[in-house]
Amino acid sequence: MPPTSPKKHGGEQQPDTNSGQKSQRSKAARVSDDAADKKTRRLKDAEISFPIVYGTISFWLGKKASEFNSHKWTVYVRSATNEDLSVIIKRAVFQLHPSFNNPTRVVESAPFELSESGWGEFEIAITLFFHNDVCDKQLDLYHQLKLYPEDDNGPQSTKKPVVVETYDEIVFSEPTEAFFLRVQNHPAAFVPRLPAGLNLPLPGPIEHVNEKKRGDTKDHPLSQWFMNFSEADELLKLAAARQQVQAHIVKLRRQLSMIDGLPQQSKTASGDLVARVTWPTCAKQRRRSPSHPTTTEIALF
């Protein structure tokens, strides 16, 4: 019987599996290295910011009010555009007055808020903790709970709450590439500038959160009382300031035309008339600062 051909059994035709495994291992190693580089590589001269609002809304209990329980209130941290802040915030810790049961309250998911009731005003400390790829430092905020309107002589209302909010911006300077790619297209993020010549890969799609787990505050029960810190509101303020400046210029021109026929005129060395225009304060405000906010910059070093 003739010997069995090794080709039919594939004895000499088997692929070099060792070579293929080495190639796959090398490719996997390169992918792993690239991912590690993105997590640590920082984008020099880049910034990404998240406009936020934190504050309280308090309601008088009316006939249900008692000496030690006169108001119900909610303290919160929200996006200035009411988007989901859980894209950067891992948890929020609210430190209440020591008289409350369990005064240290931890909120692990958005919306980052808590509700209570009581009779006294006090300062609430708010600590924000970020996801690992965002920042390893915490951010401390402080807010004064207000239960009574500024006009103490005015009547209290169970329908109109006392609202106190503070606008701020959390700015991340020189973020890691992985973090930047993850959040740059998120609606809560604002990218004021990118370094010239910076080439980044296209970001992945924004994750769609289950409707039952939405962390935004667009349909929040208290949203009708939220203050407006939108770009549109700021543009209206700038437009009003521009109109004031234009009216001031027209007034100056009229005054100049009235004194044009006088024998002596105030002239510069070159003979040109001098017109001084004083710009209103609101025209000098920062573009994204509707009500004199502060900007919190987190150093990632």
Per residue in 189-231, pLDDT tens? Answer: 988 767 666 666 555 555 544 444 578 787 788 878 787 776 5
Check residues 240 and 53 and name the one with the higher pLDDT: 53
Q: Which of 100-114, 159-173, 252-266 has the highest mean pLDDT?
A: 100-114
256 belongs to a structural domain: no
Residue 291 has pLDDT above 70, yes or no: no
Q: What is d(CA 208, CA 189) in angstroms, rounded to the nearest whole number?
A: 16
115 belongs to a structural domain: yes
pLDDT at 228: 77
pLDDT at 127: 98
DSSP three-state, residue 182: helix
pLDDT at 298: 52
**Residue 230 CB coordination number (10 Å):** 14
124 belongs to a structural domain: yes
281 belongs to a structural domain: no
Lowest-pLDDT range, 28-42, 102-116, 215-229?
28-42
Residue 27 has pLDDT above 70, yes or no: no
Q: Of all residues in the chain, what percent carry a pLDDT higher than 90? A: 40
Check residues 296 and 125 and name the one with the higher pLDDT: 125
Give the chain's domain count.
1
253 belongs to a structural domain: no
Q: Compute the average pLDDT of residues 280-289.
A: 33
136 belongs to a structural domain: yes
188 belongs to a structural domain: yes
237 belongs to a structural domain: no
Provide the sign of the torsion angle of the four alpha carbons 81, 83, 88, 93, taken in this order: positive
Which residue intervals of the chain are DSSP H helices? Answer: 17-40, 177-183, 231-258
Q: What is the CATH number of the domain that holds 156?
A: 2.60.40.1970
- For residue 35, the surrounding DSSP H or E stretch is helix 17-40
CA angle at 255 for the pair 249 and 257, rounded to the nearest 5°: 105
Q: Residue 200 corresponds to which tokens in the numbers above?
A: 């980044």
Give residue 167's domain range. Answer: 47-205+215-230
pLDDT at 121: 96
Residue 61 has pLDDT above 90, yes or no: yes
pLDDT at 195: 66
Q: What is d(CA 297, CA 295) in angstroms, rounded to the nearest whole number?
A: 6
